Structure 1
Amino acid sequence: MPDINKIREDFPILKRKVNGYPLIYLDNAATSQTPKQVIDTIVGYYSNYNANIHRGVHTLSQEATEKYEEARIKIQKHFNATKPYEIIFTSGTTHGINLVATGFSDFLKEGDEIIVSALEHHSNIVPWQMLCERTGAVLKVIPMNEDGELIMSEYDKILSPNTKLVFCNHISNALGTINPVQEIIDKAHQFGAAVLIDGAQAAPHLKIDVQALDVDFYVASAHKMCGPTGVGMLYGKEEWLKKLPPYQGGGEMIAEVTFEKTTYADLPHKFEAGTPNICGGIAFGAAIDYLNSIDLDEIKAYEDELLAYATEKLSSILGLKIYGTSENKTSVISFNIEGIHPYDIGSIVDKLGIAVRTGHHCAQPIMDYYKIPGTVRASFAFYNTKEEIDNFVEAVNRAQLMLS
């Protein structure tokens, strides 16, 4: 088990107070906090070698380029991609999904079918709806059950020779459900369909091996992995990345430009137009180093312990209902208390220094399924403690007394 007190020392923000109370940060599914090792990397970049990368002959440019490409290799190894150029730097998960969705406009026709799951974040719904509008393809949905699990027998029914693309999140941001992505990928491939997995919520909790999954595309964001905002990664199998057209035009993504014709650069630069978030990419690499220094298997075991503890404590509150009760889930609890709007609970616990998320969590179809406006979502990370959960449960009890 990791030394939690020692780990907490790495996160400066955990020392601050909110509304006079020590901060209890339980909004990790929205964004994780940043350790000083990553913060120092950001400060070091701007203090010592801030320069544009690639093509520069001067020392600062060469140093920045080397650090940036080293970060790409760290990400490649962490996700076990075959080659560094199968990792495309993006601004985050949403950017990666839109890059693929736009590229597939050239490959789909009317009558082709795309499958998504009922548990998706809006970022893994809207781009595919837009793709269907452009191409005439049809969007189909794997339904969910009351426990917040996908009904896989229905997935079997909607798969067909017309299925060209399947998209699913690895873990539901709203419910914490861990989806059976290996089964989803394997069955899609039997019909020749490509698969993109949204790993935004999984990458902070699980060790991802894209080769073992045999997934065609995998996307993630640094800011949910103790890294900075505004940077993420798209993994794509080399064969697919070579087929897809560039997402944006501009500098860096070209081989040669004339007014008559432009030829495109090789991977990964073909998809990285313009000056990237250089500092963000380097800091993403530092965040990967930090997570691996702790050991993701230990992180998962401890977070599972926090989830079980919080579930038991919250379940003792009269009138509280938890949404998403799959046995296979990660450290997210979404709940409501009968007769009380989730926003009101979130506002009161904030006055006590506790940060949780309220609303539909960019997963409105899930809320529509349960016929609720939203939930209170508490999401735990490896730097949280059982004492913080005790304080949170006490705060929820207090909110219930005030609002009932």
Structure 2
Amino acid sequence: MTRSPGRSGSSGAPRSVDVARLAGVSQKTVSRVFNDEAYVSAEVRRRVLDAAGELGYRLNHAARALASGRSRSIGVVTLGTALYGPVSLLMGIERAARDAGYAVRVVNTLEGDPGGVGGAVDSLLKQGVDGIVISEPIDDEEDGRVVSVDVDVPVLVLGAPAAVASSRTVASGVGAEPLARAATEHLLDLGHTTVHHLAGPQRWFAARDRLEGWRAALAARDREEPPVVEGDWSAASGYAAGRALAADGDVTAVFAANDDMAIGLIRALTEAGRRVPDDVSVVGFDDVPVAAYVTPPLTTVRQPFDAVAEEGIRMLLHAVEKPDVDLPLANDPPVELVLRASTARPPSRTAPGRRRRTAPRSPGGTHVPPLPDGGSATKP
């Protein structure tokens, strides 16, 4: 593709005045289009963007930041981990911020580092970020007390209580509790008398939420609450828990707090001669990519990482760019339970001498509509 020459036939980088000339509009109109302001018709916006594309024009974010007094950067505090959930959420945040024209600066904390969130926030504030995202999944405590940090920029909190004090704090995302409740209700709806829980480490906010969702679902049906088995998110801890649970013949259903532990659990049950789902049904949490391809394919709750990130960044940037305007209402993402082949009716529902058959499902799973009794696999 041959680019049109810049201003006055110059071969230098094109400027907004060149875009205005080619589009037949004023330079102010070009500015309005690239600042996504109102009062620009769709036809004029298209002409400006087409002209910018033809010239190879890119908005000068440095100049825009200088003029606005903002750095057009967002700081993110997150745990330094390779676990699927935190990494997926971080990727979603980066994509959403980049699409809005903001750079992302990340500071990782370390599990077990008291004051880690406070130090990370201080580091980001020194870099002049316009807003901060707290995506910290564990307690940050000193002497048993949560560390509080004063922040003078808007703060987005994802999935955890804020350990910061800000004049504008926003929250986004469906909590883990309704997701865990939907997973537990699915097993109860199949006819299981109760559901055992393989929990995550209880220092993690998400692990506590999943525990509470499981507990609430059992209490709502007046079902017995079995002892909780705690893992550390790894498949190895799921395998260890599975060896113990396999020895209990009363166990017919298990909700695991993440897919990795569920996969380890299934391995242990299978080795012990407990068939999944014929003898024990298993539900995971997250819907990691491999969940559809293990044996059997894993029924799990899908976390809406991208939707949570997009909604959170939308609200945070509203607080940054329109500090005097009330925050918009948050849009909660749906609860999605992906049904695969790891769950079925309990053994007691199978006629003697006959092996229960489980209907085959595609690797991608099936999204189930609300259930008749008020529980649901997909909640709006």
User: Which structure is richer in relative contact order (CA contacts within 8 A, separation 6 or more)?
Assistant: 1
Q: Compute the TM-score of the two structures, normalised by the length of structure 2.
A: 0.35
More helix by share: 1
Q: Compute the TM-score of the two structures, normalised by the length of structure 1.
A: 0.33
Task: Find the structure with the greater CA-based Rg.
Answer: 2
